[in-house]
Chain A
Amino acid sequence: MSSTFIGMPSFPAAARQAVQDAQLRHNLRKATHTIRGKRGEVVGELDDWAELRDAGRAIKDRTLRHLDRYLEQLEEQATGAGATVHWAADAEEANAIVTRLVRATGEREVVKVKSMATQEIGLNEALAQAGITAYETDLAELIVQLSDDFPSHILVPAIHRNRAEIREIFARRMAEWGVPAPDGLGDDPRELAEAARVHLREKFLTAKVAVSGANFAVAETGSLVVLESEGNGRMCLTLPETLISVVGIEKLVPTWADLEVFMQLLPRSSTGERMNPYSSVWTGATPGDGPQDVHLVLLDNGRTDTLADRVGRQALRCIRCSACLNICPVYERSGGHSYGSVYPGPIGAVLTPQLRGVQGSMEASLPYASSLCGACYEVCPVAIDIPEILVHLRERVASGPGHAAERAAMAAAETVLGDHRLLHMAQRAASAARGAVPRRLPGPGAGWTDTRDIPDIPPRPFRDWWREHEKERARGGGSGDAGGRTEHEGGDR
């Protein structure tokens, strides 16, 4: 049973470990570069990508600005189509609702479609406490579940594992969960996928209850949409008698026609395919086809807090494509686990602190888990300005408790920088003391120098150099003052 992320160390501590893992860095680099290459190709095929992105952003903004109306509309339409709609204010309530629904069927097992929302709320653990076993059926999620691990990427959760590790996990753990791995299992991906197929097929063909999330929920029609590759989603969404879908309230789109935008944006941004192999769309229950007992659990769990923040709100546009992970230099080196959440990478760095608040040290560290290079914004199919939210959240963290020294330092800096005489005095003092400046600051300042070099201090301030330079020029020395220039350039770095 995979555990939840709560109580993970803060980002710098986790990342420090991760960057020392050469295998992990190799796996991540290969994977992120491969996916981003594929993405670039298929996005390049559409000459209206900028317009699609613009439409995607605007549709999500419209939804968010009028979310109450769209939620009510979705509820009405889904109910009319035969689904039962439930509302969950937080994780605990959502878990209680799902547990109660599963219990009502008399079943003790459920099959699951990969869903970030159910991971976010720790549903598998909650079901386990109620004596219900949840089987993850996405291949990567299965690998994560069998190894008591955490997902490390939105799209490919077991990206940090290589084939040898996966073979080992299957051989060791499959038997505990059902059909064992075949004897003499090799580490060829084809062979491993076949073992997963056999292991899970028994579950699919007998399961009575399935739990899913949704990529989109259409307010106008009450339809839910799930995009996937393997067919495990289709199995779960089609064969069981009862289907319970846990859907974050930000997943809505207003109209059926809006899917024409997102069905283009999402597959190309996430897997770098023109279209993912399978998508399922269902609207309530269809007599004679698929699950007849259909439930929709609408989940808040911090989303309304995020919605209340006018800068941070845009993070709720996220369609979980993971393009920002694959482009991020910080994610590429630190890996998904360092972000302490089911939402890693740049989007995790803005979503997690907003969903959970910035009181915890992990959450407070996440807005700093970025170089602010802006690549994530460029690549985002719904144009979430992640750097803007990061800076905004840093402000929130810095104005919280525990930053008195930093605030005092910034206030002092403001005074000095605001007065040219004070600044000049400070610069001269710094130049005089330049030999005494350590590479690393002691005490609380160490946190700063751990991740940054102290800039070289010039032997004399620029103002002094300039004054002399001008004097020289007035004396007719011209601009060929090579000595002065060299000194200035050398010191100004």
Chain B
Amino acid sequence: MTGSREKVLARVRAALSDVPRGEAAEDVAVPRGYRRAHGQGPALDLLVDRLEDYRALVRRVPASGVGEAVAEALRRRGAVRVAAPADAPQEWFASCPAEVVRDAPLGGGPPLGVAELDAVDGVVTGCSVAVAETGTIVLDTGEHQGRRALTLVPDYHLCVVRARQVVDSVPEAVARLSPSLPQTWISGPSATSDIELQRVEGVHGPRTLEVLIAE
């Protein structure tokens, strides 16, 4: 394949014969007059508004009340068995009515199989960053988040967002994220508009996204 590599690179260089030899990439000015954030309102209020716009279920709870809120959400959902990352805090499940199946930590023992994930009633995780302006929750397999498959296969995802994880804008989120970690950006539940542009929630990913914002 070396041949094609050199061929393509040579074609690129030939195509760019008009670019002065001395020009460095950085010499091509990129105007960055755009805003770091748009000041559309208090971050937490905005996040709730945007999430609800995507028809996600949202509740704001005190940091000390996460366990109760998780229990209530799972009870309402009728969840009997839920999955959770190995490092999800025990207090989230202190009054949990459902059986909690913990995934193995990354690189430590066999992870939950796909069939097993397909059989649970939901999954409970934390997140890395949440973007208020766009109603986006970013998971990067870091603390309290587990592997990507964990939040993908079950039909119900309950996500705990801590107030300090909420930023206003996309630029602020990008700055907080590390590209070396695999990321999933979630903005509302799985949805399609492929049939006559009518929005249908839930095709392949979780059909219900519930968010607890812990303040």
Contacts and interface: CB of A to CB of B under 8 A. Distances in A.
Contacts of A254: 25
B97 interface: no
A89 B7 CA distance: 7
A286 B15 contact: no
Contacts of A406: none
Contacts of A271: 193
A139 interface: yes
A280 B195 CA distance: 24
Interface in A365-409: none
Interface stretch (A13-21, A230-238, A423-431, A432-440): A230-238
A288 B190 contact: no
B90 interface: no
A273 interface: yes
A190 B200 contact: yes
A89 B8 contact: yes
B121 interface: no
Given A87-B1, A205-B118, A235-B204, A69 B25 contact: yes
Question: Chain B interface: which size bin?
Answer: 35 or more
Contacts of B107: 287-288
B165 interface: no
A66 B184 CA distance: 30
Contact of B171 (A140, A218, A260, A289): A260
B141 interface: yes
Interface in A304-320: 304-305, 307-308, 310
B38 A230 contact: no
Contacts of B9: 68, 71-72
Nearest to A81: B180
Interface in A82-103: 86-89, 93, 97
Interface residues of A, number: 99
Interface stretch (A30-38, A121-129, A480-488): A30-38
Nearest to B9: A68
B21 to A, nearest CB: 12
Given A48-B35, A254-B25, A234 B205 contact: yes
Contact of A51 (B33, B179, B206): B33
B128 to A, nearest CB: 12
Contacts of A229: 190-193
Interface of A: 27, 30-31, 34-35, 45-48, 51-52, 54-55, 58-59, 61-62, 65-72, 81, 86-89, 93, 97, 137-140, 143, 156, 158-159, 162-163, 166, 189-190, 192-193, 196-197, 200-201, 204-205, 218, 220-221, 223, 229-232, 234-235, 238-239, 249, 254, 256-257, 259-261, 263-264, 267, 271, 273-283, 286-290, 298, 300, 304-305, 307-308, 310
10 shortest interchain CB distances as A-B pairs: A231-B205, A308-B15, A231-B204, A304-B11, A62-B28, A275-B134, A279-B185, A260-B171, A66-B25, A307-B15
Interface of B: 1, 4-5, 7-9, 11-16, 18-19, 23-25, 28-35, 38, 40, 50, 54, 106-107, 111, 114-115, 118, 131, 133-136, 141, 147-149, 152-153, 170-171, 174-175, 179-198, 200, 202-206
27 contacts: A51-B33, A54-B34, A55-B33, A65-B23, A67-B16, A71-B9, A72-B9, A81-B180, A140-B194, A192-B195, A223-B179, A230-B203, A231-B203, A231-B206, A232-B204, A238-B148, A267-B134, A279-B183, A279-B185, A281-B184, A287-B106, A289-B106, A289-B182, A290-B148, A290-B149, A300-B8, A304-B8
